[in-house]
Amino acid sequence: MISNNVHESFLVYRGLKFFWLAVALVFVAIILYIWHEPLGEPNGGTWLGYILGVISAALVIWLTWFGVRKRQYALSATKLKVWLSAHIYFGLALVIIATLHSGFQIGWNIHSATYILVLLTVTSGVFGVFVYARYPKLMTKNHAGLSLDEMMGKISELDQDILKEGQQLPEEINLALLEAVRKTYIGGNIFEKLSPKNVICPTTEARNLIETKFSDMTLQNQNISKIIALLAKKTKLLRRARRDIQIKVILRIWLFFHIPLAIGLLGALFSHILAVFFYW
């Protein structure tokens, strides 16, 4: 059926086509590395070392080209999903090829710096894959049919109800409710977005206040139980809205590491190649 082909995620594209290609590349490289007996210890300077180096450098350039390809919207050749699939599996392969290229040598120099940057870039990418595979589902579950805008709309409707009900309650509660409506926010700085649990939320505080100080009144005063129900609804929505923002941030934040690291890697790679040729 056509629809199956059309609807296929980047990870499993065409029966893991790029995964197997990457495995094949790595396999050949490892066999060559074991078979090859260089004069002296394994090194980037042997003929195999050069071959592996050239492959690694080509991979790095091709992998960073993804950033350009992503923006070539009118280019019709291949779907971006196919590129991403290849980007992931060849990015992983790069770690092994580059390691073999280094001959397991490490030191305080530009060559090792390049190698470390490869490791860091790929690690951040692996985290990105993990995030892409895991969080969309959680986000859909958290949405449960409501978009963030709709949640916000519902929250402000609840606010109106809370203010209305609050007018008939003791001054202390009323003030706390007013505070809760005015000062409750969603989002905030990056840390608050990432860990909404640590945000001090006036709505929760108002609820705590009523539940601790006025719980004995609930039986006599119907308004109190009504307000508790409203607050409970609101905190639940707030939790979902904050969770939504948290997931959206997580889905993007890794790029703020992955891309600068990749650019850094590109720079280091050129320095490394230049250094190799200057100090032949």
Partner 1 sequence: MGNNNDIFQVAIIGSGPAGLSAGARAAVLDLRHILLEKSDHSSDTIYKFQKGKHVMATPDVLPLRSDVDFNMGSREDVLDTWNTALEKHQINVRYNTEVKAVSGQKGNFELTLGNGDVINTETIILAIGLQGNLNVLRIPGAESVTHLQYQLDDPDEYEHETIIVIGAGDAAIENALGLCTHNTVYIANRGNEFSRAKEANEAAILAEIDRGRIIPLYNSNSKECTQGTLTFDTPDGDVTIECDRVIARLGASPPRKFVEACGVTFPSDARNALPEVSKTYESNVKGLYIVGALGGYPLIKQAINQGYEVIEFINGNTDLDPADEPLITETLKDIKNFDNETFLKEIRTRLPIFKELNPLMKRSMLVESRVTAPSHGTIIFERGDYTNSVYTIFRGSIKIQTNEDDPSQHVVLKQGAFFGEVGLISGRRRSATILSNADDTILIETPRRTMIKLREDVSSLRKSMDKEAIVRQIQTYIASSLDIDAIHKLAESASIENFRKGKVLFNEGDEGDALYLISKGSVMVSKQIGGKEITLAYVAAGNYIGEMALMSDLPRTATIKAAVYCETIKINGDIFRKLVNENPSLQKEIEEKYGQRIVETEKMIEQPEAGSIVEFLIGEGIGEATDVLLIDESICVGCNNCETACAETHGGISRLDREAGPTFANVHVPTSCRHCEHPHCMTDCPPDAIKRNSEGEVYITNDCIGCGNCVKNCPYDVIQMAPEPPEKPGLFSWLLFGKGPGPGEDYGYQDRAPKDARKTAVKCDMCKDITGGASCVRACPTGAAIRVKPDEFMNFIRDGGESI
List residues binding partner 1 (CB under 8 A): 1-4, 6-13, 68, 70-74, 76-77, 79-81, 83-84, 131-133, 135-137, 139-140, 143, 145, 147, 149, 248, 251-252
**Closest C-alpha to 33, from 49, 19, 21, 50:** 49
Q: In whole angstroms, what is the distance from residue 239 CA to residue 40 CA?
A: 62
Smaller CB distance to partner 1: residue 170 or 264?
A: 264
User: N- to C-terminal Cα distance for the chain?
Assistant: 58
CA 32 to chain centre: 36
Whole-number minimum distance, CB 145 to partner 1, in Å?
A: 5
User: Closest CB to partner 1 among 77 and 200?
Assistant: 77
CB of 249 to partner 1, least distance (A): 11
CB of 9 to partner 1, least distance (A): 4
Specify the residue, 84 or 261, whose C-beta has the smaller distance to partner 1.
84
What is the nearest approach in angstroms of partner 1 to the Cβ of residue 157?
A: 17
> Among 66, 69, 82, which Cα is nearest to 5's?
82
Cβ-count burial 174-185 (b if 16+ within 10 Å, e if not): bebbbebbeebe
Closer CB to partner 1, 150 or 172, in the complex: 150
